[in-house]
Chain A
Amino acid sequence: MAKQKILIANRGEIAIRIMEACEELGIETVVVYTKEDEASEHVQRVLREPSKSKRAYCISSYKDPNEIFSVCDEAGCTAIHPGYGFFSENFRFARRAALRSRPVTFIGPRWEVIRDLGSKINTKRVAKSLNIPVIPGSSTPIYNEMEAEALAEELFFIQKEQGIKHPSILVKASAGGGGMGIEEVRELDAFRQTYRRIQNYARRQFGDEGVLIEQCLTDYHHLEVQILASRHDEYVHFGTRNCTIQSTGRQKRIEVAPGFDPKMVNYPFKATKVLNDIVEHSLKLARHVKYDSVGTWEWIVTRQGHPYLLEVNTRIQVENGISARISRVRGLGQPNLIKEQIRCALGDELGYSQEDISFEGTSIELRIVAEDTKRGFAPWCGTITELRFPQYEWATVHTHVPTDRPYKIPTEYDPNLALAIIWGPTSQDAIDRAKEFIDNTVINGYGPRGESIITNLPYLRERLNACLRFE
């Protein structure tokens, strides 16, 4: 392999994790940062290390692709790791990396795959053709009111058949996203009005009046399947995760691997079979699209045990650590998924197959955030003066917050402080250990008016009891 140099186009803890993975692989890295982030550990760490060449570049914004490519060329990088967020699922960025006059490797799937799986409608259409269950509803945008009403009627009928007490459907603008232009309809009579409203909104907002209609699911668990594939037709999975515990803004707060634990919880359905099904379905789709990187297949599992494929995240995820924590690869031990992702992107073969992977115990990730969970998860900003985590051999902490000096949280970004990954031989053990970890964590700081810091630690401790359970 030619000498590689990777530009890390991200910030915070993921930048540090990528840096560490590269160090282990013996690959040089370059980081970028904005003025507001100057004090962040991902920058300071690089600046501390002696280096022959410049390794940290100040840019105007993490969201400007031109800045990333500009630094990439200047620093002589051969590949870009997008982390999560920012450019990780931006097929145009990946396409530009591949097609520019000085091509660089995008560490992620091929851009065509990012684009195709990035479209929920596309994903749904193909999944349907492979007999993978998807949320009942339209698989193409609807432009015709008659067609829309017929579908709405059918969806209400299906729900009644299933014995759902309060059936409802969602009407959304097909060109929309991020919760914009979505409305719930609880009775068929109200449908037409809502449909027209959304259609008008879509036309005004996106210049495309296409509308999607699907069943509204209310009582479900949010599960994920961790897939890894190489450019050599190798496909493996690292089990499932349960990410049901989320903030009101649909931000994940606690994740657990594996997705269900029938030993601890009594489920009204065959949990092991559901987990196996969603893994098999996910692999089927991955093979079909010739997936070639790490990726997460998101599923919804209802209280009745019906799984539906939601979408595919074509990137490394925050919570990749818990899947790695419960996995064992023969001859390799615990895998590092970021390392595996980089290896695959650079063209390596996996070197192992599914039979070489086994699972052990339960792992929980806690997302420690400076936020006021009692006031709608409002972000808190201020200065951290003390950040201390207990040391356990069953706990790992990822943070970009420096522990040796005060740190002002930049107001431009989410106030994430740290990720804690806890492992236990059983689910109950893991939950107990997580509580113990929280009890021994110390975070101090002050706000702009001198008030003391607010974090979500009490919330996390309380919500741990809900792990893996239908409430």
Chain B
Amino acid sequence: MIDVNLNALLRQYRSNPYEELHIETPHTGIITFNVKVGDLVKGPSGAWKERPGTTLFTLEREGNVKKITAERDGEVSFVRDEVDGEFCEAREHVVTIRHRLSKDEIINFILRKVLYVFEAPETARYYLVPELEAVRDQKKEITLSPGDDFLIMSLMKRDTFLKYEGPKGTVFRLYFKPGDIVEQGEPLVGIASPEDLDIVDKIIQRIQSEWED
């Protein structure tokens, strides 16, 4: 059964409803900033997220000028101005966005404490097994029982099937983007068992009504 001090959690988020997003250069190239500190930026929009977010900076590599856009809304709190117009290496931290947590994100964070969370056993790339990926594509619910093959762990060029070990339940949240490297111990999926579903719904409802964006 779920046991969580919701009030304390909500208090904690109320006192600091922000998240700092560190934006790194995805690859090498000459950087040109399009934002300055204090600018408000927008994440992707549209019903299908088809309209990209605000351009943060451009990277020019091999004659290709690529726009790097904001993934979420927020305020620019840091820009590494001294590299403007210079060659940057890959994965350099160049911009920070102070992002105000939305209601959905608060729900996500709190659910992470509430749900049965399956953590990454190794630092590796993870994928859903194709059958579940297909279910997810159809926007249907994924139900898991102990012993089900549910994830593919790609490690050292080898793919290993991971068996689900935990209570039977419904996948409530996926915490990773298929194909990305997930550090060991980071959450992969959040699962709610059938008997907990009610409580989870109640928690969501409470945050929905109490949290103001």
Contact = CB atoms under 8 A, between A and B. Distances in A.
Contacts of A67: 27-28, 61, 90
B27 A57 contact: no
Nearest to A371: B156
Contacts of B156: 379, 381, 411, 413-415
A451 B95 CA distance: 40
A59 B26 CA distance: 9
A35 interface: yes
A35 B91 contact: yes
A235 interface: no
Interface in B26-68: 26-29, 61-62, 64
A378 B29 CA distance: 37
B158 A378 contact: yes
A448 interface: yes
Interface stretch (A68-76, A213-221, A324-332): A68-76
A57 B89 contact: yes
B62 A381 contact: no
A57 B123 CA distance: 24
A70 B28 contact: yes
A60 B28 contact: yes
Contacts of B92: 58
Contact of A411 (B29, B61, B123): B123
B144 interface: no
A34 B89 CA distance: 10
Which of A57, A67, A411 has the most chain B CB atoms closer than 10 A to its own CB? A411
Contacts of B27: 59-60, 64, 66-67, 70
Interface residues of B, number: 22
Nearest to B26: A60
Contacts of B122: 381, 411, 448
A59 B92 CA distance: 10
Nearest to A75: B87
B75 to A, nearest CB: 27
A66 B62 contact: yes
A66 B156 CA distance: 24
Nearest to A69: B62
B157 interface: yes
Contacts of B61: 66-67, 70
Interface in B81-106: 87, 89-92
A35 B157 CA distance: 18
Interface of B: 26-29, 61-62, 64, 87, 89-92, 121-124, 155-158, 181, 184
Interface of A: 34-35, 57-60, 64, 66-67, 69-71, 74, 378-379, 381, 411-415, 448
19 contacts: A35-B90, A35-B91, A58-B89, A59-B27, A59-B90, A60-B26, A60-B28, A66-B61, A67-B28, A69-B62, A70-B29, A379-B158, A381-B122, A381-B155, A411-B155, A411-B156, A412-B181, A413-B156, A448-B122
